[in-house]
Structure 1
Amino acid sequence: MDLRAMLLAAFEAEHREHLGAIRAALAAAREGGNADWNDVFRRAHSLKGAARACDLSAIEEIAHRLETLFDRIVEGAHPLDAATLAAVTLALDRIEGMAANLAETPDPPLPQDAAAALDRCLAAEPAAPPAPEALPGPEAQAPAVPEPAPEPALSVLRIASDDVEGLSRAVHGLALALQGQDEIGSTLAALDADGRFLRRTADALRERSGEVAALARRLREAGDPGAGLLEATLDLVRRLDGEMRTMVRGVSALTRDQHRSAGAIELAARRLREDADRLLLVPAETVFGGYGRMVREIAREAGLPVEVKLQGLDLPIDRGLLQALKDPVLHLLRNAVSHGAEPPEERRARGKPEAMTVTLTLAVRGGDLVLNVRDDGRGPDIARIVETARRQGLIAPDARPTTREALGLVFVPGFSTADKVDRLSGRGVGLSVVAEAAARLRGRARLRRAQPSGADVVVVVPLSAARRPLLLVEAGGQVYGLPGSAAARLLRLPAAEIAPVAGVPSARLPVDGRDVVVPVVPLAGLLGGATALPVEEGWVRAVLLRSGTDLCLAAVDRLVDVRASLVGPAPPIGAESGLFSGTVLLGEETPALVLDPAGLVARAGEISGRLAASPAPAAPGARKRRPTILVVDDSITTRTLEKSILEAQGYRVFVCVDGEDALDRLRRDGPEVDLVVADVEMPRLDGFGLLQAIKADPGLTRLPVILMTSRGDPADIRRGLDLGADAYITKQKFDQRELLDTIGQLL
């Protein structure tokens, strides 16, 4: 890293600290409280120096103007009026915006609007200091009182987040590597047991040695030449007994030492892992700190006066959890402005301040992170919500939902009351993105009316949803996650040593001090894919899985990574199979399934014999033209997983978010599509409606359609088949092999 890059990295943290302190002082001034304006002046001065060190002339110039203005405020030569507050707020937002975009604009130009606003303040005639009681600013302070002794400063070391992530991965990798200590301990325990058996044998031999010695004496007295050989053998046995006893004592001592050291290492590794995970906790300000500026900027463009308050951003929260909430929170803030902000004249008529206030608050309650976005705007329009839901077919025309039920409709996918799609309205996607993000984190979201006016959205997610150590493996062309605690051992097995036992490929391993025979089953086969063992250069990579007393060696294509990742809830696909315990987002927002080790071990016990004998299915990709499948599902996780499964088998895949989207795609690219896999419950047009439209279209009527849904009621199945579905698969009983077999038959 070059010098300027290092300076910019330091500036990234330092400027946030200074801007946060200045904004806190401004907020206190607005509410009539006290603020340390000398500290504000010093921070503007420090910000100017930091910008100069990084050669950021535009930021340096704005900071210089702020420094001059704060100096006048400290001296009582300039009032802290509304115009000054607005100018300072705009300047801080422009500084934050320039700092946030340094990667795209390394040398940002001077923001003319902020510079002009500050110049107007600085050009004003110096005002005589008014009476203290009339000032909302620094002069209206209580008489000076002795300051308490400062508390010892907390030493803070700034470390790059990538380095912390790398440390966490290394520590979790170390924890998995140390699991090999179990194998060493088992081997030593077995040697110790063998040594005790040998010692008992030697004791029995020693008891007979007296008889052998007496026989040797009699033979010698009789002049038998065999006496010398017998005495030499007896002497050799005595030396062997002594050496064997020394070795047995050494093995026993080594076993005890290994047991103690393994326990100490495990404890140290656990503490190290906990400390490394704790380093991943960062102040929420690092993710949400810039949201005030973004929302104010959006409101300025719309000509709406808005004040943004950010509270609780000093809380240390898992960075991954904050990242998962980043987009939903911004959407909530934008939504508050879009649907809640009233024109200034309307707010004045209602006795409200001219500017709407939007407040983002974070708090920890018990084991939950509680995130609250509240505004004092016009509040939710219940009648409009209900009417929109009726128009979009989300409720029956004659339905009369309660207030709580109506407010819950805003989280339905596709629901939006926005009149137009623009930057302010969040592109009209509604609040379903918030509900989906909360659900992925095993949490919930709720909209309430605020008192006395406005809207209040509360998102509650468990802190335990933050991160879990995962072992990422690849099988059948797809990446899966296994809980780190479930991987008892990682092994490279010589393929030549894997032999069938009762028709099942098996390997002999030392486990818990004894040799056991463990079945070796391809992970892809357990999940409904290829059943041949993945062998590479004579070796098989496998993960030893344990469920109670049952063991299974899951053979994989490769070991991908060890990392602590956010794990969301399991998708509805295969819910009844017991094979999936959640989902995790990998690079480029690609979801992967997290597997349930207990379900895998149980499945291995059920089908290992059948898997050993069954041939691998032929890949559909062997066809001359790759068949194209249209996947239609409103859940991004489900449709992405289905797409991954199908593409791994060689199919070309299109995806659509609902029935209307699918119909548009089919009318445009219908000749390219060979088969449709559709969910039933979707916004705008559900799966049944899509199926009816396909069968009613002469150009599409022969197109095979598979309905795959969580609705497994016999009446729903009959309805789907009566409408012309070629197959109906319930997600709870989903088996990857069943879907692929069904598609193969229809194509």
Structure 2
Amino acid sequence: MDEETLAIFRAEADSLVESLEGGLLALQTRPGDRALIDQVFRDLHTLKGTGGMFGYTELAAFVHGFESAFEALRSGSSVASSELVAISLKAHDHIVALLDGQSSGDPDAILAGLAAAVGDQTPIPGPRPDVAPVAADIDIVIPPEPQPALRVQPPAAPVSVPEGPASAPAKSSSTIRISADRLDEMMDRVGELVIAEARLAEIAAKSGSPTLMSVTEDIQRLATGMRDATMSIRMTPLSSITGRFRRLVHDLADQTGKPIELVLEGEDTELDKSVVEQLAEPLMHLIRNAADHGLEDPMTRIDLDKPMAGTITLSARHSGAEVLIQLADDGQGLDAGRIRAKAVERGLISAEADLSRNELLRLVFAPGFSTAERVTELSGRGVGMDVVSRTISDLRGSVDLDSEPGQGTRITLRLPLTLAIIDGLLVEVAGERFTIPLAAVEEIVELPEILDDQQATARLLDIRGRLVPYLPLREVFGSPGRPGPFQKIVVVSSGGGRVGLVVDRIIGSNQTVIKQLSPLHSGLKIFSGATILGDGAVALILDVPSLVTRSKRPSPSVNRLQEAYV
């Protein structure tokens, strides 16, 4: 096979293998689900046919034996026991190894185990590895050719046709597979188009030509439509990676001896594909930690009047310009005292350090930090939480940690909806332009003159009965000079928190193509990136979650003003 054909086969095979694993894991809780059994059988049958057609004869031979075991489930002569699911998952792993040109065990032993699990002690026969399956094993649908109007006498002998309603003509596929690199290239082109469109709008506005303005408006409308269409292609549901978590929990339950239930909520929540691809590893680290450190053993849970099986819940939802992904367990929670002792032992803090409970809990994200007494295959080296923190930070997100002794731990990942193009609000501060993500903006109000002269790093403003802290961006940026009259407050929100950003002037909204900051400037946490404006100038994009966090820091002025309002 040439490289393109091989890539097509692997994409199809990977999809089938993922579906197969998901079906096998679902059989644990729905062993009598006939539709689920049929799905697993179809996955095996298609994988066998395509494998044989593309020259993977050893794979086709093994899958044929695997398929024979599930024939017993289809016929009703056997049930999907836990033993069958366990050995089937081993068979699945062997299929993955064969696709990679490796071997993960003795295929004959796996097939014998499958036979035993369905009640047949005779090993399941399979075709010889050097003989490809016959063409009948490959499902190929060929649309019928147009029939002439001439009536033809039917043959005397009956033709073998299955009973039931006539099948509808085959329809052309409504989806196609494209390379991720091509999609990224397309997104880059759209980004450059948006920048060019902004430049054209700037020129048209200066020219005052009605014809040029009309054409510019048409191009803006088309560019916006192309941007939205391209962004929708890039968006991927979280369910694209949750299948591997089901398998992980299944294996962790076997390794730890703890019955574990995985609950998935909001799997249809969509994120930019570049974000989803990087989420798998940190989420797997969090699940491992929850299973190994968080959940108690069955006897301890019974003594605590908890269900014997521990629960790990992975949920996702949209919140403005962010996606919130939360992983929670109902285990023993984090021990702040133990974390403090380990941090002092490792020299991360001094013995006299006065830290809040939340600050102590966040020490678990320090590189190499672990409270485990011994290193196991699952954890103990202090790498997992560090990986989570660094990965989420690289994605311009943040991590919130909350834990109650005896009640469990909740870790919330706050991530930007996309890393490509957003709608932005362009503002001016001390003669410089900055962009605020429009999805995070709640409202814009004018700064009262009575509050204009108060010198502090944080203030409070009463907006319809609610106190909202606000930050003068001139002070945050260290800009020289004094602001002019009629400053505006842009109220933004993130993670349930609100802050007002004081700016000199509101310029307007625009499409913002996000450009990453250089490594030299990546440490500036109040900026999440930069964009190129229509006149070629660069505007920094404000990091709203970072500014909201900054506004929560206590200061004498906050306490004084709060007393005045209460």
TM-score range, shorter chain: 0.5 to 0.7
Q: How far did 1:381 drift?
A: 4.0
Residues 402 and 54 of structure 1, relative CA distance in 2, 3 Å threshold: farther
Counterpart of 2:346 (choices 392, 414, 420) is 392
1-side partners of 2:312 and 2:61: how far apart? 30
Partner of 1:42: 42
| Selected match of 2:411 from 446, 451, 458 | 458
Deviates more, 1:308-317 or 1:343-352: 343-352
The residue that corresponds to 1:275 in the other structure is: 229
SS at match of 2:369: coil
Q: Distance in 2 between matches of 1:444 and 1:396?
A: 25
Distance 1:184 1:434, change over 3 A: closer
Task: Give the conservation status (yes or no) of the 8 Å contact 1:176–1:484.
Answer: no
Residues 90, 110 of structure 2: 8 Å contact kept: yes
User: Secondary structure, in 3 states, of the residue corresponding to 2:67?
Assistant: helix
CA contact (8 A) 1:361 1:373 kept: yes
The one-letter amino acid paired with 2:420 is R
Residue by residue over 1:33-66, the C-alpha shift from the partner in whole angstroms, topping out at 9 and shown as x without a partner, is 8864333333332333343344445554554344
Residues of 2 paired with 1:125 and 1:422: CA distance? Answer: 37
Per-residue CA distance 1:436-480 (angstroms, 9 max, x = gap): 4445534332142497x6x4332231444543479xxxxxxxxxx
CA distance in 1, matches of 2:259, 2:515: 36
What is the correspondence of 1:644-659 to structure 2 with a 5 Å cutoff?
Answer: none
Higher radius of gyration, 1 or 2:
1
Whole-Å Cα distance in 2 between the matches of residues 422 and 347 of structure 1? Answer: 22
Q: Give per-residue Cα distances to partners, 1:353-389, cap 9 Å, x unaligned.
A: 8876544333335544232334455543444323223
Change (3 A) 1:436 1:5: closer
**Residue of 436, 445, 452 corresponding to 2:400:** 445
Pairing 1:140-289 to 2, within 5 Å after superposition: 155-182=174-201, 185=204, 189=208, 255-289=209-243
Structure 2: distance between partners of 1:567 and 1:115: 54
Q: Distance in 1 between matches of 2:303 and 2:40?
A: 36
Distance in structure 1 (CA, Å) of the matches to 2:351 and 2:436 = 51
Q: Is the 8 A contact 2:20 2:44 kept in 1?
A: yes
Preserved contact between residue 371 and residue 380 of structure 2 (Cα < 8 Å): no
2:52 equivalent in structure 1: 52
Contact 2:294 2:333 in 1 (8 A): yes
* Whole-angstrom distance in 1 between the partners of 2:520 and 2:398: 13
How many Å separate the matches in 2 of 1:459 and 1:570? Answer: 29
Q: Provide the secondary structure at the position in 2 that maps to 1:582.
A: strand
Per-residue deviation, residues 242-275 of structure 1 (Å, max 9, x unmatched): xxxxxxxxxxxxx433321111011101110121
Equivalent position amino acid for 1:26 in 2: Q
- In the aligned structure 1, how far is the partner of 2:87 from the partner of 2:351? 51
- 1:106 aligns with 101
Instruction: Describe the shift of the 1:264–1:424 C-alpha distance in structure 2 as closer, same or farther (beyond 3 A).
Output: same
Contact 2:375/2:381 (<8 A) preserved = yes
Secondary structure at the counterpart of residue 117 of structure 2? helix
Q: Which secondary structure state, in structure 1, belongs to the residue aligned with residue 69 of structure 2?
A: helix
Q: Which letter does structure 2 place at the counterpart of 1:156? A: T
Contact 1:414 1:429 in 2 (8 A): yes
> In the alignment, which residue of structure 1 is the partner of 2:115?
119
1:652-674 Cα offsets, whole Å, 9 max, x none, are: xxxxxxxxxxxxxxxxxxxxxxx
CA offsets 1:636-657 (integer angstroms, 9 cap, x no match): xxxxxxxxxxxxxxxxxxxxxx
- Between 1:268-277 and 1:341-350, the stretch displaced more is 341-350
Q: Normalized against structure 2, the TM-score is what?
A: 0.57
2:413 partner amino acid:
V
Give the Cα–Cα distance (whole angstroms) in 2 for the partners of residues 15 and 93 of structure 1.
9
Q: Secondary structure at the match of 1:290?
A: helix
Question: 1:90, 1:114 within 8 Å by CA — same for their partners in 2?
Answer: yes
* Residues 228-251 of structure 1, C-alpha deviations (whole Å, 9 max, x = no match): xxxxxxxxxxxxxxxxxxxxxxxx
Report the residue type matching 2:74 in the other structure.
V
State the SS of the aligned residue for 2:210: helix
Report the equivalent of 1:581.
527
Asked if 1:26 is matched to 2:28, the reply is: yes
Cα contact 2:362–2:401 (8 A) shared by 1: yes
The code of the aligned residue for 1:75 comes to S
Normalization by structure 1: what TM-score? 0.45
Q: Any stretches of 5+ residues in structure 2 without a counterpart?
A: 123-170, 424-433, 438-503, 540-566
Q: Which residue of the partner structure matches residue 280 of structure 2?
A: 326
**Identical amino acids, percent of aligned pairs:** 24
Contact 1:468 1:566 in 2 (8 A): no
Residues 341, 378 of structure 1: 8 Å contact kept: yes
Whole-Å Cα distance in 2 between the matches of residues 310 and 53 of structure 1?
Answer: 39
Higher helix residue share: 1
**Deviations, residues 502-561 of structure 1 (Å, cap 9, x unaligned):** xxxxxxxxxxxxxxxxxxxxxxxxxxxxxxxxxxxxxxxxxxxxx9899xxxxxxxxxxx
- Using a 3 Å threshold, how does the CA distance of structure 1 residues 434 and 469 change in structure 2: closer, same or farther? same
Question: Structure 1, residues 376-424: CA drift from partner, whole Å, max 9, x if none?
Answer: 5554344432322332345553679776555343234543213345652
Post-superposition Cα deviations, 1:169-192, rounded to whole Å, max 9, x if no partner, equal 111122223445347647865xxx
If asked which structure has higher relative contact order (CA below 8 Å, sep 6+), I would say: 2
1:433: Cα distance to partner?
3.5
AA matched with 1:169: D
Distance 1:483 1:187, change over 3 A: closer
Query: Structure 2: how far apart are the matches of 1:376 and 1:450?
Result: 10
* Aligned match of 2:441: none
Following the alignment from structure 1 to structure 2, what is the Cα–Cα distance between the partners of residues 46 and 383?
Answer: 55
Structure 2 match to 1:338? 292
Name the residue aligned to 1:13: 15
1:399-414 matches, within 5 Å, as: 406-414=360-368
Tell me the secondary structure at the aligned position of residue 178 of structure 2.
Answer: coil
Partner of 2:136: none
Letter in 2 for 1:117: G
